[in-house]
Amino acid sequence: MSPLQPAPVVGLVGVGNMGGAMARRLLHQGFVVHVHDIDLAKTEALKVLGAIVHGSAASISEQARTVIICVVDHKQVDQLLDPKGAPSWWSTLQSGDTVFLCPTLSPDFVESVASRLRAHGVSTVDAPMSGGPVRAEAGTMSLMVACEDAVFVCQEKLLNALSSHVFRVGTRIGDGARTKLVNNLLAGINLVGAAEVMALSEHLGLSLDTTLSVIEQSSGQSWIGSERMRRALVNDFAPRAHMTLLTKDTGLAVDAAKTAGFHGVLGPLAAQAFAKACQAGLADADDAAMLQWVRQQQK
């Protein structure tokens, strides 16, 4: 970056696994990064790297004209929109600001938030992400972007800094969310399927490691199946992506399908499997623990 050009400024609300990785990526790319999270340990870790820590989302919006929201779900977005006992985020947004919505949310909810932002003269970039924190920090995660053409042009530098895989899915707000739900429903189906065939292989007396190696080089291969089952086979269930996340996402996808009048076969079954795994006590486990749940169904 030329010393004559001011460093671009961006705010990040929610710096957990994905948000934290995005913040590190942007710091590495020379951005001035303002961060807020309810988990102070996460923001302090970023402060050491040069991030500017804020005690509220409202404080961030006083400093950054572009803010990335990377919280977990619609409840946490709602808390930003209608805070109780905290400074109002709305009070510091200015006409011309831009807000990125990066969590996996229902299309209807994304549309409603965008409508509220529009009333304040604020643009929305519907930009859910996929790929995990390692790819987010490397700038190789996928971003599914829906926004007005003019907004896309204005934010292209930030988008390209965040990801080398920016998919422009359209101008209709909510289509980013729809694309993400379609993707994550397939991810959920693939993961449940991978766990099931690994459990079946075990019952058939096969070597799980060898069987997975065959699948990885054959027609049954899927990225999430391979990545999660490789860890499951060595009992590595340290949470990278909690079971609750795909439970939420597959549920949202099935709901969106019903709203559209589409009645799937495998999607509802995958959503049920994740919900039942959470009910069985695996909510806080990594979703690789789906193998554990499938095994339990055989007892």
Domains of the chain: 9-173 (3.40.50.720), 181-296 (1.10.1040.10)
Measured at the CA of 84, the angle between CA 81 and CA 88, to 5 degrees, comes to 50
pLDDT tens, N- to C-terminus, the chain (299 residues): 455 568 899 999 999 999 999 999 999 999 999 999 999 999 999 999 999 999 999 999 999 999 999 998 989 888 887 766 566 777 788 999 999 999 999 999 999 999 999 998 999 999 999 988 999 999 999 999 999 999 999 999 999 999 999 999 999 999 999 999 999 999 999 999 999 999 999 999 999 999 999 999 999 999 999 999 999 999 999 888 899 999 999 999 999 999 999 999 999 999 999 999 999 999 999 999 999 999 999 87
Q: Residue 160: which of 172, 149, 168, 150 has the closest Cα?
A: 168
Buried b / exposed e over 61-77, threshold 16 CB at 10 Å, is beebebbbbbbbbbeeb
- Rounded to whole angstroms, the Cα distance separating 18 from 129 reads 9
Interatomic CA distance for residues 96 and 117, integer angstroms = 10
Please tell me the predicted confidence (pLDDT) of residue 290. 98
Q: Which residues contact 230 (CB under 8 A, 6 or more apart)?
A: 212
Query: What is the reported pLDDT for 113?
Result: 94
pTM score above 0.85: yes
Return the exposure string of 119-131: e unless at least 16 CB atoms fall within 10 Å of the residue's CB, then b.
eeebbbbbbbbbb
